[in-house]
């Protein structure tokens, strides 16, 4: 089914067509009239010429019939004079009758030809005189008289017949003259016919020329101007189509102008969409290279302010527990500092968070308007757009404008898209941080593992060398832990390790990092700590562990002790492995010295030999073995 709109069929929209049809009809009618005139004149001329020619031909034939009848009479009159045959008289009478008929016909045909009529009458009269004076008396005479006058009959007949012959010659001459006149008339009729045809053709030519000029002026001119406007438009000039008149060309100009405006609107829309697409592409790049959540909110705010005209706004971040909002970034006259806590008792006080979709307050000055407690706008428009990903709320975007109903649905759609992209990137970043934390954390004790500790220690050593600061590590190993497991069971051993980790975490400084380095072996990195400070920290740890009570069950408790080895950076420390080897060597001596004690390994050359033996144990630990081999003496 065709649903296209019906085009306006008003009469004024067909003025050119009607004028063209009228002009064509008038031209055709005039052409028909002119052609009819030419045809009538030509037909009349041809008919007249044909009638004249036919009459001349008929007169010529009749004249020859008259001549034949006269000569036949003379012939049979001589025949009878010589032979006396009665048949000659019959033939003579028949020829005489034919002469009368021919003369009557010729006289009828030559009514308008006086010379021919006079010559024919003279010939007929001479024939009558010849018959009356000689032929009939001779033919009616008896045989004796016929025979007596036969000798001189020929001469006498010739004398009497001569006027008839002369009249016949004059008749034939008059016919020739008449035929010549007819031929001249034919020749003269051609120019006359041409004089009729040429004006008609000239008139038609002039009319067609005038019609062509009218078409050129009325149609080609406006069409040319429309074409020039199209070319100027293609060339990028700021032009418009003008409807010069109210007809088809005016309608065409109106349509072209509407198309121009529509094309301009579409171009601007396409250009705006291309700018939006470029902004979102840049946003995707920024989010992919973002280091943390602060980079993400900065990228989001830049994208929003490029896409939307807004007087103020912020991006608030929800903590993992979903119980508070902090400022990620804010802009405007009253923008809060990043990291500031938003004063709301619950995050779902924000209408956008409560609805889990965009919420627009077109006029917050209206006493019936729903206001967001996270924003304190008193006039204009506010928008709350939640940032959600993987079904969790990660934050909210707020926009403000001092104008009422300032944000249209397209603006909301664009900012919602920013919220979706950044929310997903933020959720991914949080998930990645969680996964990285899990990968670098010992699941039993909650302390860092070797995956985290080794790169960290190497980085801290580089920093210590650069800042010319000391760096120490403390290796810790629970004494007789295998025996503890065998005696109390592995669950008790696990609880001992957890208690041990809690004691370490509560004893060391905030700047220190502890990690589980093997089965019951732990290590602590002490930033900017020299040998004395490190030894003191190790002794503090030993004492705390010695005081630690491990709960094995209801009413069941146990105690453990630990041996500790301390090493500090010095000339023999090339990297983190050598520093750990020195600490491990000190731990070995603490085990050898009776356990539950602290030993310190100097960084001098004398420590290299025992460190090599300890490094072999460290190599096995770094290779992934969870159980650390005890010294044979232990």
Q: What is the pLDDT of residues 66-79, one digit of tens each?
A: 888 888 877 877 77
- Alpha-carbon torsion angle 333, 337, 341, 346, nearest 10: 40
Poorest-pLDDT segment among 166-175, 529-538, 613-622: 613-622
CA atoms lying within 13 Å on the CB side of residue 297: 23
Question: For strand 562-568 and strand 598-601, is the pairing parallel, antiparallel, or unpaired?
Answer: parallel
Q: Does pLDDT of 597 surpass 90?
A: yes
- Give how far Cα 121 sits from Cα of 205, 221, 561, Å: 55, 77, 179
How far is residue 261's CA from residue 187's CA, in Å, rounded to a whole number?
71
Phi and psi based region of residue 472 (left: phi greater than 0; alpha: psi -120 to 50; beta: remaining): beta
Nearest to 311 by CA among 353, 364, 370: 364
pLDDT of residue 149: 57
19-24 mean pLDDT: 72
Highest-pLDDT range among 36-45, 373-382, 499-508, 606-615:
499-508
pLDDT of residue 14: 58
Poorest-pLDDT segment among 273-277, 394-398, 584-588, 609-613: 609-613
pLDDT of residue 91: 85
Poorest-pLDDT segment among 146-155, 348-357, 549-558: 146-155
What rounded mean pLDDT belongs to the chain? Answer: 81
3-state secondary structure of 383: strand
DSSP notation for 57-69: HHHHHHHHHHHHH
Q: 90-120 b/e with 16+ CB inside 10 Å = b?
A: ebbeebbebbeebbebbeebbeebeebbebb
Q: Does pLDDT of 437 surpass 60?
A: yes
Q: Which two tokens stand for residue 395?
A: 């934050």
pLDDT of residue 424: 86
Q: Which two tokens stand for residue 526?
A: 């002490």
pLDDT of residue 603: 55
145-171 mean pLDDT: 70
Poorest-pLDDT segment among 141-155, 194-208, 528-542, 606-620: 606-620
Contact between 396 and 325 (Cβ < 8 Å): yes
Q: What is the pLDDT of residues 200-242, one digit of tens each?
A: 778 878 877 887 777 677 777 777 777 888 888 788 788 887 7
89-114 mean pLDDT: 82
Question: For strand 392-401 and strand 381-389, is the pairing parallel, antiparallel, or unpaired?
Answer: antiparallel
DSSP notation for 115-134: HHHHHHHHHHHHHHHHIIII
Question: pLDDT exceeding 70 applies to what percent of the chain?
Answer: 86
How far is residue 34's CA from residue 373's CA, in Å, rounded to a whole number?
95
Poorest-pLDDT segment among 457-461, 572-576, 603-607: 603-607
Q: 255-282 b/e with 16+ CB inside 10 Å = b?
A: ebeeebeeeeeeeeeeeeeeebeebbee
pLDDT of residue 384: 93
pLDDT of residue 197: 77
Where do the domains of the chain lie, and which CATH numbers do they carry?
Answer: 14-210 (1.20.120.1730), 290-433 (3.30.450.40), 440-622 (3.30.70.270)
Dihedral of alpha carbons 306, 307, 308, 313, sign: negative
pTM beyond 0.95: the answer is: no
Q: What is the pLDDT of residues 409-436, one digit of tens each?
A: 999 999 999 988 888 888 877 777 767 6
Q: Which two tokens stand for residue 537?
A: 């920290």
Q: Does pLDDT of 608 surpass 80?
A: no
pLDDT category at 634 given cuts 50, 70, 90 is: very low
pLDDT of residue 55: 79
Q: What is the pLDDT of residues 280-299, one digit of tens each?
A: 899 888 888 888 888 888 99
pLDDT of residue 613: 47
Dihedral of alpha carbons 93, 97, 102, 104, sign: positive
Q: Does pLDDT of 561 surpass 80?
A: yes
Q: Does pLDDT of 9 surpass 80?
A: no
Q: Does pLDDT of 620 surpass 70?
A: no
Residues 6+ apart with CB under 8 A from 53: 182
How far is residue 389's CA from residue 356's CA, in Å, rounded to a whole number?
11
Query: Beta partners for 401?
Result: 381
Q: Does pLDDT of 151 surpass 70?
A: no
Residues 6+ apart with CB under 8 A from 191: none
């Amino acid at each position: 089914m065709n649903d296209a709109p019906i085009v306006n069929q008003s009469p004024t929209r067909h003025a050119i067509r009607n004028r063209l049809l009228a002009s064509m009809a008038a031209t055709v009618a005039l052409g028909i009239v002119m052609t009819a005139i030419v045809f009538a004149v030509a037909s009349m001329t041809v008919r007249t010429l044909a009638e004249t020619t036919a009459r001349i031909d008929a007169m010529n034939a009749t004249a020859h019939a008259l001549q034949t009848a006269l000569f036949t009479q003379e012939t049979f009159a001589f025949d009878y004079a010589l032979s006396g045959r009665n048949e000659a008289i019959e033939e003579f009478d028949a020829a005489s009758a034919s002469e009368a008929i021919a003369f009557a016909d010729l006289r009828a045909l030559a009514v308008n030809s006086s010379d021919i009529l006079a010559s024919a009458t003279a010939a007929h009269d001479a024939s009558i005189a010849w018959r009356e004076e000689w032929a009939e008396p001779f033919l009616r005479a008896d045989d004796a008289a016929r025979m007596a006058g036969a000798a001189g009959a020929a001469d006498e007949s010739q004398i009497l017949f001569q006027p008839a012959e002369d009249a016949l010659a004059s008749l034939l001459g008059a016919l020739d003259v008449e035929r010549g006149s007819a031929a001249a008339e034919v020749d003269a009729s051609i120019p006359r016919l041409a004089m009729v045809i040429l004006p008609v053709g000239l008139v038609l030519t002039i009319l067609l020329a005038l019609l062509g000029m009218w078409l050129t002026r009325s149609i080609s001119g406006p069409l040319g101007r429309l074409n020039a406007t199209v070319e100027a438009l293609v060339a990028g000039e700021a032009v418009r189509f003008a409807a010069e008149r109210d007809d088809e060309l005016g309608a065409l100009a109106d349509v072209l102008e509407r198309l121009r405006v529509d094309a301009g609107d579409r171009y601007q829309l396409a250009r705006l969409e291309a700018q939006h697409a470029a902004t979102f592409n840049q946003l995707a790049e920024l989010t992919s290279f973002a280091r943390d959540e602060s980079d993400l909110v900065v990228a989001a705010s830049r994208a929003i302010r490029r896409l939307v005209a807004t007087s103020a706004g912020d991006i608030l971040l929800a903590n993992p527990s979903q119980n508070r909002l902090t400022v990620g970034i804010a802009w405007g006259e009253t923008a809060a500092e990043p990291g500031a806590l938003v004063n709301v008792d619950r995050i779902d006080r924000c209408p956008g968070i409560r609805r889990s979709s965009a919420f627009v307050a077109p006029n917050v000055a209206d006493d019936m308007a729903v206001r967001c407690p996270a924003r304190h706008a008193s006039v204009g428009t506010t928008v709350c757009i939640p940032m959600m990903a993987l079904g969790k709320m990660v934050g909210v975007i707020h926009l403000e404008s001092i104008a009422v109903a300032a944000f249209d649905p397209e603006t909301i759609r664009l900012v919602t898209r920013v919220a979706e992209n950044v929310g997903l990137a933020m959720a991914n970043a949080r998930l990645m941080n969680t996964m990285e934390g899990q990968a670098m954390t010992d699941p039993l004790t909650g302390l860092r593992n070797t995956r985290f500790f080794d790169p960290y220690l190497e980085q801290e050593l580089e920093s210590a060398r650069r800042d010319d600061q000391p760096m120490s590590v403390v290796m810790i190993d629970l004494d007789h832990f295998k025996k503890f497991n065998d005696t109390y069971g592995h669950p008790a051993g696990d609880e001992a390790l957890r208690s041990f980790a809690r004691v370490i975490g509560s004893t060391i400084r905030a700047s220190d990092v502890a990690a589980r380095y093997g089965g019951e072996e732990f290590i602590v990195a002490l930033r900017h700590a020299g040998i004395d400070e490190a030894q003191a920290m190790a002794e503090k740890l030993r004492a705390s562990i010695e005081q630690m009570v491990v709960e094995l069950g209801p009413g069941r408790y146990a105690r453990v002790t630990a041996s500790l080895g301390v090493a500090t950076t010095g000339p023999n420390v090339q990297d983190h492995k050598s520093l750990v080897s020195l600490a491990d060597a000190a731990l070995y001596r603490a085990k050898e010295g009776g356990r539950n004690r602290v030993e310190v390994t100097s960084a001098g050359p004398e420590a290299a030999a025992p460190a090599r033996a300890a490094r072999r144990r460290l190599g096995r630990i770094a290779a992934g073995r969870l159980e650390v081999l005890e010294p044979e003496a232990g």
